[in-house]
């Protein structure tokens, strides 16, 4: 399972890197047909004036894009291995309920995020936040059973691929404090945890 997670992280990272605008497009400056930079002239009108798409479309996008892509919206999130449900208030602050269910553990968390624009033209956000919640665990043989608390602060990026669909990835220190029911044993752990997933906004 760990390997699958690593592969997903690498694929997502590469994807985010390229979607930040490192792949540039060109258009004809006269008829605005899509052209390739290596072409000598526009196949439609013969013009040799090519413009980077960013220059022409950036202004239009800036007009349309605002915090409204994220503010006052409800989002259903799918993460590994769970679900979340959040609302983004004004000033780009969100509150979120998060559940993660695996074979041996169940985690219920409250999460608060504050978003910042990284790029308006590519709808890219930086966010930071805090998460805290309850964890319950029980092994299959029921030898180990207990519950406790989990807390996490993190920093990440969220990128909208479409108006209602985004991918996100974040990392931060995570503290887990759990107590075994049968042996009255207390365990504490401190770790860096990487989260990733996607959101569907309504």
Which runs of E-coded beta strand occur in the chain? 26-28, 34-35, 50-52, 73-79, 82-88, 93-101, 105-119, 124-138, 145-162, 165-180, 186-201
Instruction: Tell me how far, at minimum, the Cβ of 42 lies from Zn ion, in Å.
Output: 3
Binding residues for Zn ion, total number by CB under 5 A: 8
Considering only residues 99-158, where is the footprint of Zn ion by CB under 5 A? none
Q: Which is nearer to Zn ion, 45 or 76 (CB)?
A: 45
Q: Do 34 and 27 form a contact (C-beta atoms < 8 A)?
A: yes
Give the distance between the most distant pair of CA atoms in the chain.
81
Q: Which residue in the set 8, 9, 30, 167 belongs to the binding site for Zn ion (CB under 5 A)?
A: 30
Q: Which is nearer to Zn ion, 47 or 56 (CB)?
A: 47
Considering only residues 39-58, where is the footprint of Zn ion by CB under 5 A? 42, 44-45, 47
d(CA 185, CA 2): 27
Q: Of 38-46, 62-70, 78-86, 172-180, which segment contacts Zn ion by CB under 5 A?
A: 38-46
DSSP secondary structure letter of residue 185: -
Instruction: Tell me how far, at minimum, the Cβ of 174 lies from Zn ion, in Å.
Output: 54
Q: Which residues contact 62 (CB under 8 A, 6 or more apart)?
A: 120, 121
Q: Which residues contact 89 (CB under 8 A, 6 or more apart)?
A: 71, 72, 95
Q: Which is nearer to Zn ion, 45 or 78 (CB)?
A: 45
Instruction: Tell me how far, at minimum, the Cβ of 166 lies from Zn ion, in Å.
Output: 34
User: Within 10 A of 74 (CB to CB), how many other CB atoms are there?
Assistant: 12
Instruction: Tell me how far, at minimum, the Cβ of 44 lies from Zn ion, in Å.
Output: 4
User: Within 10 A of 10 (CB to CB), how many other CB atoms are there?
Assistant: 10
Q: Of 26-34, 55-63, 95-103, 127-135, which segment contacts Zn ion by CB under 5 A?
A: 26-34
Q: Which is nearer to Zn ion, 45 or 101 (CB)?
A: 45
Q: Which is nearer to Zn ion, 53 or 144 (CB)?
A: 53
Q: Which is nearer to Zn ion, 34 or 187 (CB)?
A: 34
For binding to Zn ion (CB under 5 A), which residues are involved?
Answer: 28, 30-31, 33, 42, 44-45, 47
């Amino acid at each position: 399972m760990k390997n699958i997670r690593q592969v997903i992280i690498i694929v997502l990272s590469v994807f985010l890197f390229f979607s930040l605008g490192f792949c540039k497009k060109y258009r004809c400056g006269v008829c605005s047909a899509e052209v390739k930079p290596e072409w000598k002239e526009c196949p439609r009108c013969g013009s040799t004036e090519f413009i980077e798409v960013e220059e022409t479309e950036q202004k239009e996008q800036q007009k349309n894009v605002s915090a409204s892509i994220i503010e006052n919206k409800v989002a259903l999130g799918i993460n590994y291995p769970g679900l979340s449900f959040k609302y983004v208030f004004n000033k780009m602050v969100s509150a979120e309920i998060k559940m993660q269910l695996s074979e041996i553990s169940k985690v219920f968390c409250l999460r608060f995020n504050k978003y910042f624009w990284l790029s308006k033209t590519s709808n890219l956000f930086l966010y930071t936040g805090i998460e805290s919640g309850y964890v319950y665990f029980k092994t299959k043989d029921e030898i180990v059973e207990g519950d406790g608390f989990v807390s996490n602060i993190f920093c990440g990026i969220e990128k909208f691929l479409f108006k209602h669909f985004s991918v996100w990835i974040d990392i931060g220190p995570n503290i887990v404090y759990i107590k075994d029911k049968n042996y009255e044993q207390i365990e504490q752990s401190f770790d860096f945890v990487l989260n990733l997933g996607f959101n569907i906004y309504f």
